[in-house]
Structure 1
Amino acid sequence: MMTFDDLAAIPSLAETLPIADEAARAAALDRQNSLTKPPGSLGRLEDLALFMAGWRATPRPRIGLAQALVFAGNHGICAQGVNPYPQAVTAQMVANFQAGGASINQLCRVNGADLSVVALDLDRPTADFTATAAMTGAETLAAMNRGAAAVDRDADVLILGEMGIGNSTIAAALAAALFGGEVADWVGPGTGSDAEGLRRKISAIERGLARHRGLTPMETLAALGGREQAAICGAVLAARAARIPVILDGFICTAAAAPLHAADPRLLDHCLIGHVSAEPGHRRLLAAMGRTAVLDFDMRLGEGSGAALALGILRAALECHNGMATFGEAGVSEG
């Protein structure tokens, strides 16, 4: 099992973690070009099949086990009135996930993913980052290790999501700290903030950024992030060590992984973005990271819902890749 004991060592992992198998990808491309269709006619479905071939190191990748992990945490920044809901909702939603009553449960069921929910010390919120660092380095590493430990190394793909009252503020703070720009451009309504709620979110983030300057990306994760964001980073890296492709969810999940991108963009080479969130900061974040999402469905629920929906598209891509006949098999002239 992959473990972490030094935040400063995270960027160097880009030099030692597995990379995509180019021979497998090339063989998959040869197969794509021999299937009974004009080359490239399935567009991004073909790209997804090649992506999977490279990371699973086989020309004909299949999804046997799809694992979905939702990490949940609570945040001290809620003391600044950044969310209209009480923090008790986080634990209530975790119970709903466990009972099978949430959107993510239905999307995982219909798209064939095994869902687990990991609650991270919900009775002990992180600190208010306007007053001090949200987490110590040790707390950040502990959450990363819990995220890494939750990854099933037998999975063929990993879906990541989150739950945490206040974490749209965390996402905007991380994005602003890592990529700059006006704080207001990163902030959205989250679970339904009104104009006054948005003003409080912007003010809290601006004060947090003023307090926590000149930090490395991983130090920024500790200063501004939450346990679920750190757990997502740990899970992303553990999946990379096992050559498991990852589907990240929307704004909050992408922002959670953004410190890894800022530390070294190669650390997210095995990750897809499931969908473009309707949260206004997500398109800006994807542009900053040079990423394109699989879907754009105007969703902003979180929970891993967009990533689970994207799993269905990924499965469709592999069904076409593996199930279609070649020109030779079908007796069709290639022209």
Structure 2
Amino acid sequence: MTTNELRIKQARLTFLKTIEDGIEVAEIFLEHLWNIINDHINKPVSTYAEKDAFMINQMMFTKLTHLKKLLEGVGYTSPEGGKLNEIVDPTIISSLVRNIFETTALFNLMFRQTKSSEEMVIIYNLWSISGLNYRQKFESSIEGEEGIERLEEEKKEIDALTAQIKGFETYKNLEQKSKEKIDSRIEQKDFRIVFNGNKIKCYTSWQELCNVMEIKEDIAENCYTYFSLYTHPSQVAVFQFEQMFSRQNEEFKSLTAFNLKYCFFFLSVFIADYINLFPETLETYERLSVDKQIIIESFNSLARNRDFAINNVLDKLE
């Protein structure tokens, strides 16, 4: 493609005003995520955290395949012959995009913000403890000897993960207040911390993690609140749902395209962070045609800045 053709395609797919353009962008992201799965399926890993990092890439792939399926729309024909024309529900899209955002934020927190293997494992263990502790809440509904044994094993695993955290020099070297913060994260079933020398900073909302990922303010501002508003059955969500499907403007189409733009912001950040964690996957990324690399990199650079660039492919637009 000529430079001008590359610019035209980049403008159309990053401006992203139609669902059809969103589907085209989704195919580009899916191709890369699929290539990562196939090229590195037998890659040896040194920690459980790295194993789960590979699994998170697979999860992102399946989330996007489901989202792409939703973009085809759904309809209904009743037994009496009544019919609902095919529509795309932006509130369902929003729920999936919010999940992709949280997964991206988790990955960034664990694998890009940490500066040593011990920091990474501490956050990984806090994340594991959080999930296991939430499972313990189902203790009263567990039946059968096998289920009870599993709960006891998970309690021992929580104790072992906690002991490992407290055995690390990184934990021992923290100031006392930061040690207490980590202890409180265990109790509160949370893992959203960032290390800063011998201190840690705790985050209590997903929205705050936009700043941690260094997503630009004009994109990050209130984005999680926006997606939560559509995900939860608030009165505002019900009111806006009423306005989406009028025959006059079909607002659901523009809202879906808007949601997709954010989806690709978050996925591009994930892809850049994944390549940062596993530099050997850059070769897989660069197997994509130049125009496809430009689309992924454009979303990444729009979401953050060129300091987080995957490669120099955007130079080809100059």
TM-score (structure 2 length as normaliser): 0.27
User: When you count helix as a share of all residues, which structure comes out higher?
Assistant: 2
TM-score (structure 1 length as normaliser): 0.26
User: Larger C-alpha radius of gyration, 1 or 2?
Assistant: 2
